[in-house]
């Protein structure tokens, strides 16, 4: 999901996951990236980018982006989760929100 909106380097992916999960879903650095690479869900490349605000001190970072297969897997998982929510609401597992 972290790559759904475009390419990111590893640290940006970890920060995105931590932000969206309140710190509860942070993978160990590199583990999830290696696993998704091996399964063909994402691909990486090395790019030279200037560090923010300096224009100097350029270094290579590994950037990641979704493959077509990875995007299809993410869409299928989102659809599966959406259906689970529909079923949970049908079983009245959620309280209705009170409007102000």
Average model confidence (pLDDT) across the chain: 76
Q: Lowest mean pLDDT of 12-16, 28-32, 38-42, 87-91, name the range.
A: 28-32
- Contact yes or no for 4/73 (Cβ under 8 A): no
SS3 content of the chain, % helix, strand, coil (to 5): 45, 20, 40
Could you read off the pLDDT of 18-57 as tens digits, one per residue? 898 888 766 655 555 655 555 666 666 655 444 455 555 5
What's the alpha-carbon Rg for the chain, to the nearest Å? Answer: 18
Cα gap 64→67, rounded to integer Å = 10
List domains and CATH numbers for the chain: 8-90 (1.10.10.10)
Name the DSSP class of 6.
S
Where residue 34 falls (left for φ over 0; alpha for ψ -120 to 50; beta otherwise) is: alpha
């Amino acid at each position: 999901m972290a790559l759904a909106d475009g390419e990111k380097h590893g640290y940006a992916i970890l920060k995105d996951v931590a932000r969206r999960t309140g710190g509860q879903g942070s993978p160990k650095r590199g583990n999830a990236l290696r696993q998704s690479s091996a399964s063909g869900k994402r691909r990486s490349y090395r790019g030279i980018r200037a560090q923010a605000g300096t224009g100097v001190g350029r270094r290579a970072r590994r950037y990641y982006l979704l493959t077509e297969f990875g995007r299809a897997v993410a869409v299928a998982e989102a659809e599966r989760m959406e259906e689970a929510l529909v079923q949970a609401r049908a079983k009245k597992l959620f309280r209705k929100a009170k409007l102000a």
